[in-house]
Structures are given as C-alpha cells and as structure tokens.
Amino acid sequence: MSRYLTGAFAPLKREHTEHALSVEGRLPSGLDGLFTQIGPAPAGQPRRAFDGSYPWFMQDGLVCGVRLRDGRAAWFRNRWIRSRRVARALGETPAPGPRHFPIDTVNTNLIAHHGVLLALVESGCLPVQLSETLESIRYTDLNGQLPRGFAAHPKVDPATGELHALAYSPLRRWAEHVVVAADGHVNLAGRVDLGGRPLLHDIGLTDRSVVFFDLPVRFDVRRAAAHAFPYRWHGRHRSRIGLLPRAGGPVRWLAIEPCFVYHIVGAEEAPDGGLTVHALRYASLFDDGTDPLARPATLWEWHAEPGADYAVARPLDDLPHELPRTDPRRECRPRRLHYGITHDSSREQSGLLRFDRRSGRGEVRQLGPGVLAGEAVFVPRAPDGAESDGWLLYFRTDLAAGVTALVVLDAADLTGAPVATVRLPVRVPIGAHSSWIRSDEWKAMA
C-alpha cells in the first residue's frame, strides 16, 4: 500500500466536531481566530492504493480547524471540500457554483480576504467559499469577476490590502495576473506568455513587482491521461525568474541555472532595479519516479544586478526544510526571519526551524522520533511589534499514540516550553498548508 495511506498520512474515516477542547498551559487571549490545515485526503475508497504512483497531490481536500477565542479552544472540526468526487463518496450533493476546469478537487491552501474564507487550489479550478464551521458553501468566481481559475499561493500587500495571484492552467500557455482589492473587486491586470505549461506554485511580492519562477517541471499530457500526477521534469526547458510589474508592462526575465522551487521565502527589489530572491531550491524534481516529498530542499539566494538579464544563485544554508513562513506584516519588505519544517525520514521525525538571515544561521527545535509537524505559522502579537514578537502555531502528531495537538510556542523562544497545547479529538493527517485566520478578517466567524 502507498505510504501516503499509512502512518501520518492515513486518511480519516469520517468528519468530527468537538467543543471545549482540553488545553495544557494557557492560551494567549490575543489569539482570536481560526487555525486551519488543508491537504489531500481521500473521502472514500482510495483509488490505486497499491500502485506505486498513487497520486497524493490529487486527492480530495480535507480541512481541519481549531477556533481559538477568549483564551479557550472553542471547537475542532474537520470537513471535506464538497467536490463532485467527495459528494459521490459521501452520498451527498456537490457544492454549487461554477468550476471553470474539468477537475474540481480543491486541497492546497486557505485564505480570508474581503470578509470571505476561501479554499484554494492551482491549475485552473475556482476557489470554494467556506462557512464559519468549515462547510462548503459554493465554488465561487467572486461574483462573476473570475472568468477562468485562480491560484493556490496568492500574496497580500499589507499596505494596500490587495491580494495578488498568478493564475495558471495546463489548458493554457499563459498565466494571468489577478488582483483582488480589499473590498473584493477583481482586476485582471494582465497576462504572461509562458511558452509552455509550467508548474507555478508560489509567487513573491515586492512593492513594484510580482516575482515568480518558470522552471523545467512541466505539464505532461501522457501522465495526465494515465491519471498520474500530471507534471514531470523536462530538463531542456529554460529556467528563469520573472518580474511582472504591478503597474503593468512587460515581464523582465532573468536567466538562472536549472532547478525547481515550490516556495519563495521573500523577494526584495531595489530602487535601481536590483533584485534578490530567497527560496527553497531542489536540484530537480519529478524526474526519475522517486518520491518527490523525500527530496531535500535547501535555502538559496538569487541576485540580479540592475539591468542584468540573469541572476546568480548561491546556497545560504545546507539544512533541508520546507514550508517557509514569515511575518505577514512584512510582505513586500525585507525580512530577517523565516520559519520552516525539517524532516528526517529515517526516524519519521520533524523539527521546527527558525532561520536568521542576519546571522546566517538556523535554530532547530527537534520534536523527537515518531513526532511530525505540519506547517508552522507565525502570528504577530501586535500590529506594530518586532519581527520575532509573536507566536508560532502548528499541528504536532505523535505517530505511536496516533494523536494530534495544536501547539502554541513563543516565536522568540523556539526551543522553550510550549505556551499552550490543545488536545485534538482525532489525528490530523499530514496536509499541504496551514493558515491563521484572524477573527477580524472573516465577517462570519462564530
């Protein structure tokens, strides 16, 4: 059986609701919001469970969430996104609304914007609007404003409230720059000719540009026809960084050496046109049939001088990690710190990393053998506090005990005792991305 159906990935059998959760320690009263994780987890009988190419990335979307308020853990819920496939498995009606893509599985990220909670995926499908209890309300084109799909990794400019996304699809050889204003108005700001169908998972945002990587992992029609993960490494394809001006205009392309990047830590654009990008780099991915989640990614920097048409890359640290998160207040600004998750597959063990660019060193909190962490999210303590002044929230799973907890750490004391630990009623499977949704970001939050 595929490893993505056992251990930390083993899917849940049903949906759960639990109120008044047990808490060890003391939850900060300043944590008023919803901590979520979304990821692939089959709602019904897994297909190709004994196939070595079981497509975990393409499974049904499962959302798990814990509501924190008034120093209490008010509830836990897990709900599947009501796609057509999930609805068949559960004997229900699919969520209404347009799809704009043949496949309507949504399983990658959650955001709140203009008072609406949205579940996201890339490659062409529209977002799903969720209720205050994580139920699927509808697939949404934002009141008819999205003629095509959306993206899994949009970024918010905290100065303007604008949500920027680079929407792409294997049905098209171009991507679309979508800007959603703080009031929900959508501006289709322009198209980027990609000359093919690359996998564009993440973007960086500066005050002037949307920054993205165009790399050799490309859509493969034969793999898609075989119902396998439809992207693979095409080594002859050029590798480059694109700078798409937010004010409009042509993309500035920077040639780079071949590699692959899922997640960008941050981008900094100098007034004179210089650019520096930090991201987690794979030498290659999806090229030889090996497990893509077993490959290491390490922190690299790409720098381009003003007027240059190429960027020079250099490694910054050799500790493999993924799922980088930074202080959301500093999007579009230089950042000193980022957080990530390390993993030792030989011991099934995770660690939490804090990397300090000023010192060039990373600090790790090891969780012990058989203990795994989901994505860790930094939550600022105050609107104008220091970059390290806040909390780090993550789901921690003990494989031997089969239990998951929501852990709250003081971000300035990574290896110290938890501030609070919330015991969850079920094990949360390893997912894709976690999010912190403040209560004031979501009008309907209960």
Question: What are the distances in angstroms from CA 144 to CA 100, 131, 184, 335, 411?
Answer: 12, 20, 11, 36, 41
- CA-to-CA distance for 7 and 236, rounded, in angstroms? 37
Whether the Cβ atoms of residue 255 and residue 242 lie closer than 8 Å to each other: no
Question: What are the distances in angstroms from CA 415 to CA 74, 324, 409, 421, 423?
Answer: 27, 18, 9, 15, 20
- CA-to-CA distance for 3 and 50, rounded, in angstroms? 9
Q: Which residues pair with 107 in a beta bridge?
A: none
> According to the annotation, is 263 in a ligand binding site?
yes
> According to the annotation, is 227 in a ligand binding site?
no
> According to the annotation, is 201 in a ligand binding site?
yes
* 149: Cβ contacts below 8 Å, ≥ 6 apart: 100, 101, 122, 123, 124, 125, 126, 167, 169
Residue with token string 């970059």: 387
- The helix (run of H) or strand (run of E) holding residue 64 is strand 61-69
- CA-to-CA distance for 76 and 250, rounded, in angstroms? 47
- CA-to-CA distance for 262 and 323, rounded, in angstroms? 9
Whether the Cβ atoms of residue 299 and residue 289 lie closer than 8 Å to each other: no
- CA-to-CA distance for 260 and 282, rounded, in angstroms? 5
User: Which residue ranges are tagged as binding site for Fe cation?
Assistant: 153, 201, 263, 433
Q: Which residue ranges are tagged as binding site?
A: 153, 201, 263, 433
